[in-house]
Amino acid sequence: MALLDQHYLVPGLILSETRSFLYQRGLEGWEGMLLWIGMQRDQHVQITRVFIPEQRCIKSRFGVAVELTPHAHYTLPDTLRQAERFYMRVHSHPTEAYHSRRDDQNAVLTHEGALSIVVPDFAARPVLNLADCAIYQLEYGKGWVRLDQAAIAQRIEVVS
């Protein structure tokens, strides 16, 4: 199955761990960023764990941002176990969820089909079903394309 049509199974515990980290960062007025790691299982990808890379939070007159340190970029592959892959980047915004120009340029994941999930309001509300989030997919030749709610529901399944 092509990564552009991939179906993902995301455990509720992954959502809870994700929200906890992003919310704690938000309480300090910072964006947070993490990666979801998974493994291909037959016709779907099972998201298995959260990885929080070394990152640098930025505050300026233009707002807030988060980026990986050079060391984190260099050592990302060392994080993966056999048959694992990074599938999704998840980060928070202080207000609405959207992909900013900086998000496009600071993609971290660059393989076709990679997903970027933006959580609004510093994850003030639980991330239960991703409906409040903006989710983008990297499509070569098009860039980061926002998925509509129907595509999200079809592609990403939250499981217990």
- pLDDT digit string, tens, across residues 95-108: 999 999 889 888 79
Q: Cα angle vertex 156, ends 153, 158, to 5°?
A: 100
- Decide if pLDDT at 10 tops 70: yes
Where b means 16+ CB within 10 Å and e means fewer, 11-40 reads eeebbebbbebbbebbeeebbbbbbbbbbe
DSSP symbol at 5? G
Q: Tens digits of per-residue pLDDT, 21-78? A: 999 999 999 999 999 999 999 899 999 999 999 999 999 998 999 999 999 999 999 9
For the whole model, what pTM was predicted?
0.94
Task: Report whether 158 contacts 13 (CB < 8 A).
Answer: no
- For domain 3-159, give the CATH number: 3.40.140.10
Task: Report whether 125 contacts 119 (CB < 8 A).
Answer: no
Instruction: Report the distance separating Cα 76 and Cα 85, nearest Å.
Output: 10
Instruction: Report the distance separating Cα 156 and Cα 152, nearest Å.
Output: 6
Instruction: Report the distance separating Cα 83 and Cα 138, nearest Å.
Output: 22
pLDDT of the residue at 62: 87
Task: Report whether 80 contacts 48 (CB < 8 A).
Answer: no
